Structure 1
Amino acid sequence: MPTNRFCPRLSWRSGAWVWGLWLGLLVLPLRARAEISPDVRRYLLSINRLIEDLAYERALEQIARAKKVSKGPEDDVAVSLYEGVTLAELSQGRQEEADAAFQAALFLNPDAKLPLTVSPKLRKRFEAVRQKVLKELASRGERPDALKMDVPESPQPVVRAPVVSAAPVAEVATEGSSLRERAWMPAVVGGVLAVGGGVMWFLASKEQGKLDGPSEDIRTEKDARAVASRTRSLQSVGVG
C-alpha cells in the first residue's frame, strides 16, 4: 500500500473522515450531484479510494486531472474543496496551499461547505478562511449572494395584505376587563359585609343572652338597660 513520505500516518480521525468522504459522494442531494459533471464525479470517487489508501500524492495527481475536465464553477468548487482537505492532511508544511485551495472554492461560492467529515481543527481553519474571503469581498463592495445569480430576474410587484390595526381589539379587551372588574367587586364587598353582619349578629345574640338569665354583668337596672341598648345597636348593624 502506498505510504506518505512527507508526514506520519493520520491519527484516529483518518478513518472517520475517509468514510465521511465516501458517504458525502454517495448521499449528496440530487440537485448538488446534478451540478457536478459526470467526469469530475468519477475523479472524485477515484480520489476517495486513493485517500483511503493514504496515497495522497496520487490523489493530488487525480485532482489535477479533474481540474482539466471541469465544466464549470460547480466542478471547480468541489475539486478545490477536496484539494484543500488532501493538502491539509498530507503535511503540516502545506497548510498555506490548503488555504489557497479553500479560498479558490470560497471565492466561487462563499457558502460552500466541506463535503466530508474532518477534524474540528481543520473545520475551524476552513471557517477562518471563509471569514477572510467574506471580509475581502466586502472590501470590494461585492455581495456574496450576487455571485450565485447568473441572470437577474425582473422584480415582481409585491402584493401586501391590508394591515388590520390591533388597537380596537386591545380596546375591547380593556373594556371587557373593566366590566369584569365592576362585576366582581360588588360580590366581594357583599361577601365582606355578610361576614361582618354575621359577626355583629353573633355579638348581639351574646348580649341578649345576658338578659335571658342571671349574669354577672347585670347587677342593677342601669346595667340591664345598657346591655339592651348594645343589643339593639349590634342587631341594627348586623341587619343593615
Structure 2
Amino acid sequence: MKLRIVLGLVLMLASPAWSQPSASTASDFERRMAAAARAYEDLDYEHALGEFEGASVLARDDGERARVAIYRGLVLGDLRRRQESLAAFRAGLMLRPDARLPVKVSPKVARDFENVRREVQRELARNPRPPSDAPRAVPDAKLAQTPAPALVPSAGAEAEVRTSRSTQVLPLALLGASAVLGGVGGYFGLKSRGNVSDARAAAFYSDRQAHLDSARGQALAANVLLGAAVTAAAGAAITWFLADRTPSPRAEVSP
C-alpha cells in the first residue's frame, strides 16, 4: 500500500502539469500580450494598459520586459501622455537598445522613440551596462579602522564643541530674524501711512472709513513686527555677549 502511494506521488510530480511551470508562465505572458495588442488595435487604451501591467508581472527576462515597456510607450503616446510615454520608451530601450517599434505609429510617436533611442545609446556608450547574465562581484568587506586612542577626543570635548558652535549660530540667526521682522514691520508702517493719506483725500465717508480701517490693521501689524524685531535684536546681543564671555573649549589629548 505504501509503495503504491509513493509511486503515485512520483508520477504526479513527473507529469507536465507539475514539471513545466515555466511553459505555463510563458503562455500566460503571451496571452496577456495578445489581449493587450487587440485592445490597442481597438483603441481601448485603458484596457490595453491594464493588460500590459499584468504582462509585466509575468515577464521572465529583459526581452519580454522591454516588449511590455515599448508597447506601453505607444499607448501612452496615443493618449498624449508624452512624458510617461518617453519614460516607458526609455525603460524598454535600456533593456534592449536594438528594439524596434512593433507596429506602425504616428510620425510624432516614432520620432520620440528614435530620439529616446539616441539618448540611450549615448548614455550606454558612456556607461556600458554589464550583461544581464553576468556574475556580479560582491564587494570585499572593509575592515573597520579604529583610530589610535590618542587621537580620539573625549565625549565631553565633543559636546563642548557642539555647544560652542550652537552659541555662535544663535546670535546670527536672531539678528537675521530681527532684520526680516523689522523690514516687514516697516513695510506695514508705510502702508498704514499711505492709507491715512488716502483717507484724508477721500471724498466719501465710506471710502474714508475703509482706508482708516486698513490703516489701523496695518499699524497694529507694524507695531507687533517691530516689537518682535527689537526683541530678536536684544536676544542676539545678549547671546553674543554671553558667548564671548564663555571660555573657548579645548580638547586635551593624553599621550
Question: TM-score with structure 2 length normalisation?
Answer: 0.40
Greater CA radius of gyration, 1 or 2?
Answer: 1
